[in-house]
Homo-oligomer: A and B are copies of this chain.
Amino acid sequence: MTRDQGIAAAIHDEIERLILNGTWKPGQRIPTELELTARYDCARMTVHKALARLAERGLIVRRRRAGSFVAAPPAEQAVLTIGDFAEEAARTGQRYTHEILLRSEIPAPAGDFTTGEPLLLLHCLHRFDAVPAAWEERLIRIAAVPAVRTARFEREAPGTWLLRHVPWSQAEHEISAATAEAGVARRLNLRRGAALLCLRRRTWHGGGIVTDVRLSFPAERHRFTARFSATTEK
């Protein structure tokens, strides 16, 4: 991370280090741009760029006339990466397969969709090395992705297919736990009442909802992990 070239990057990294190792504490005022300009013997714009980046990343807060201050540590945040199944399997050397168990066009129920609008309903079972790993129930608004009508989802699972067909969407995620009722338990090869880790994701594009998916994972076979660092390690 410190291998970046450039004076501005060096200043940025050095100040970041001072903040992260506690030398400069939250609330403390840091030197002004002019002082840093002198210390590093460079142009003010160069210092400014370094500080602007630190401010954008939330490590410092800047106020005109008052100066720059080390920010208070943020409320705990976690950046979850919801991996693509195929990708995840590849990483762990497992074989991934999926199977569409239901495919049906239905009118939208009340809720997030415009009632009555045509939707595609899919049920899909995901397996890692032939063992059921996730159960997916998905609704897709056909008007948002007309091509979905002819998609067969044989090579790609619906989620992966959509990622390629709906660029730059927004999503809302909800993670919860539940106990398996009979239908899901049978699909996932669990006993009724087993704990499930559930992920619901609704995806939007250009103001309209695109898809609403619920994924259920056997508790002992899946977990979400996230590393959060103040420095948003890239």
Mark A residues whose CB is within 8 Å of B.
19-22, 25-26, 56, 59, 72-73, 75-84, 87, 163, 167-179, 193-198, 201, 205-206, 217, 219, 222-231
Given known contacts A75-B87, A76-B84, A77-B81, what 7 new A-B pairs fall within 8 Å (CB)? Answer: A21-B206, A76-B163, A78-B80, A169-B230, A171-B229, A177-B217, A179-B193
Closest B-chain residue to A80, C-beta based?
B78
**Cα distance A55–B217 when bound, in Å?**
35
Q: Is the CB of B21 within 8 A of A170?
A: no
Closest B-chain residue to A201, C-beta based?
B76
Closest B-chain residue to A16, C-beta based?
B168
Closest B-chain residue to A224, C-beta based?
B175
- With most chain B CB atoms within 10 A of its CB, the pick from A22, A167, A205 is A167
**Cα distance A205–B194 when bound, in Å?**
37
Taken together, the copies of this chain in the complex come to: 2
Q: Is the CB of A194 within 8 A of B179?
A: yes
- With most chain B CB atoms within 10 A of its CB, the pick from A21, A173, A229 is A173
Please give, as numbers and ranges, the residues of chain B lying within 8 Å of A77 by CB-CB distance.
79-82
Please give, as numbers and ranges, the residues of chain B lying within 8 Å of A225 by CB-CB distance.
172-175
Q: Is the CB of B168 within 8 A of A26?
A: yes
Closest B-chain residue to A166, C-beta based?
B73
Min Cβ gap A184→B in Å is 13
